[in-house]
Amino acid sequence: MTVAKGLEGVVALESQISSIVDGVLTYRGYDIDDLAEHAQFEEVTFLLWKGRLPQKDELDQLKKDLDNHATLPDVVLQQLREYPKDAHPMAVLRTAVSALAMFDQDADKNDPEVNYLKAVKLTAKIPTIITAYARLRKGLEPVSPKAGLGFAGNFLYMLNGEEPTDVAKQALDKALTLHADHELNASTFAARVAAGTLADMYSSITAAIGALKGPLHGGANEAVMKMLGEIDSIELVESYIQGKLDRKEKIMGFGHRVYKNGDPRAKHLKEMSRQLGQQVGNPKWFEMSNKIEHLVVDQKGLKPNVDFYSASVYTYLGIDKDLFTPIFAMSRITGWTAHVMEQYADNRLIRPRAEYTGLTNQSYVPVDQR
């Protein structure tokens, strides 16, 4: 057996949802650059789930459905009140999403229409979970979802208790589009492995949230902001980054398993970071990030990935850094659920092999003789 460590280069399944070919990312055949410039996140959601862009009435219906399903079951909201105030929001999200299964009487019904409804429900409720906990831990009451604001707008409204500016809403909407799906990334693979056992969608999404949390995957956006906060001044960027490189430490937000010449999503987030920095009159985080990018490209030839500039974008939107990965999940839920439905539609258990490299020919010795 040959081992592809980390499954690098292994093609594990066929998918019609998104592709990365020669560094170009497409969702259902649409270039991410085109979608990022023109599509609303709800259109992208429909595209991922249904395989085509929605008609106007279909888009309106999806928005209504997302509004209608945004409220949490009372018990789940009550549980959020009881979680420790210093829990990581990804742990909260993972736990609350898992709990939702017990309040959906169809959780274990594996039928395409019911699964579609579960995808809608999960997508609708995740922003409510994130924002309710974000407020509760600060001693504030959760803000109930408000219909008609759009997915990104409603998130910012529930987080801050006031309707967002168009600039903030559009920036978040674009960031959500850029994060919505990404072929067979680690969290999507985790979701598909769980779905491949015919476990229910809530189980698959709980597995995906767990995988996204790690700093080598979605957790990198929070780690980037921690790094920017530690450096805290443009003058200190060079010595900080040089020190890390000399110690052979990773610079978070750089490198990628698939993109070796740059992540096509990063340029959009970079431009958003530049513009938002100017608009809020504090270009520091953008300028520091830009300097880090030049140093890491020059010294290591590594380019920023989607997590690098999203950190300063979310900071400019006034969002706490430990909510960055939950926001990633709030977008990627659309891709995860699309993949779970695709897995169910043509399922085969996902079960690779391992090459055994442990001890052999051991003989049992009773415990009192060891």
Ligand X SMILES: O=C([O-])CC(=O)C(=O)O
Residue 274 interacts with, from ligand X, ligand ACO, none (CB under 5-8 Å by kind): none
Residue 255 binds which of ligand ACO, ligand X, none (CB < 5-8 A, kind-dependent):
ligand ACO
How far from each other are the two terminal CA atoms of the chain, in whole angstroms?
Answer: 34
Choose between 177 and 185: whose C-beta lies nearer to ligand X: 185
Q: Which does 253 bind (CB under 5 to 8 A by kind): ligand ACO, ligand X, none?
A: ligand ACO
Residue with tokens 């906990």, as numbered in its chain = 133
Say which residues have a Cβ less than 8 Å from residue 369's Cβ, sequence separation at least 6. Answer: none
Contact call for residue 343 and ligand ACO (CB under 6 A): no
What is the Cα–Cα distance from 261 to 258, expressed in whole angstroms? 9
Q: What tokens appear for 165 in the block? A: 């500016």
With left for phi above 0 and alpha for psi between -120 and 50, is residue 18 left, alpha or beta?
beta
Is 332 an interacting residue with respect to ligand ACO (CB under 6 A)? no
- The residues that touch ligand X, with contacts defined as CB under 6 A, are 182, 185, 256-258, 305-306
80-91 in b/e form (b: 16+ CB < 10 A) is beebeeeeebbe
Question: Is residue 69 flagged as an active site residue?
Answer: no
The contact mask relative to ligand ACO for 180-219 (x = CB under 6 A, - = no) is: ------------------------------------xxx-
Q: Is residue 63 within the footprint of ligand ACO (CB under 6 A)?
A: no
d(CA 200, CA 221): 29
Answer with the entry of ligand ACO, ligand X, none that 272 interacts with (C-beta below 5 to 8 A by kind). Answer: none
Query: 56: which 2 tokens?
Result: 């106007």
Question: Buried (b) or exposed (e) across 270-307, using 16+ Cβ within 10 A?
Answer: bebbbebbeeeeebebbbbbbbbbebbeeeeebbbbbb
Query: DSSP string covering 89-139, please?
Result: HHHHHHHHHHHHGGG-TTTT---HHHHHHHHHHHHHHHHHHHHHHHHHTTT
CB of 213 to ligand X, least distance (A): 13
Q: Residue 83 or 259: which CB sits closer to ligand ACO?
A: 259
CB under 5 to 8 A by kind: which of ligand ACO, ligand X, none does 300 bind?
A: ligand ACO
Whether residue 256 lies in the annotated active site: yes
Give the C-alpha separation, 31 to 100, whole Å: 34
> What's the min distance (Å) between Cβ of 16 and ligand ACO?
21
Is residue 59 a contact residue for ligand ACO (CB under 6 A)? no
Shortest spacing between CB 255 and ligand X, in angstroms = 10
The residue annotated as part of the active site, out of 217, 256, 268, 339, is: 256
DSSP 3-state of 332: helix
Q: Name residues contacting ligand ACO, limited to 297-326 (CB under 6 A).
A: 300, 302, 305-307
Joined together, the tokens standing for residue 98 give 């898992």
Q: By CB under 6 A, tell whether 250 contacts ligand ACO.
A: yes
State which residue, 256 or 270, has the beta carbon closest to ligand X.
256
**Residue 341 site contact among ligand ACO, ligand X, none (CB < 5 to 8 Å, cut-off depends on kind):** none
Closest to ligand X by CB, 77 vs 122, is 122
Among 127, 164, 253, 264, interactor with ligand ACO by CB under 6 A = 253
Tell me which residues are annotated as active site: 256, 307
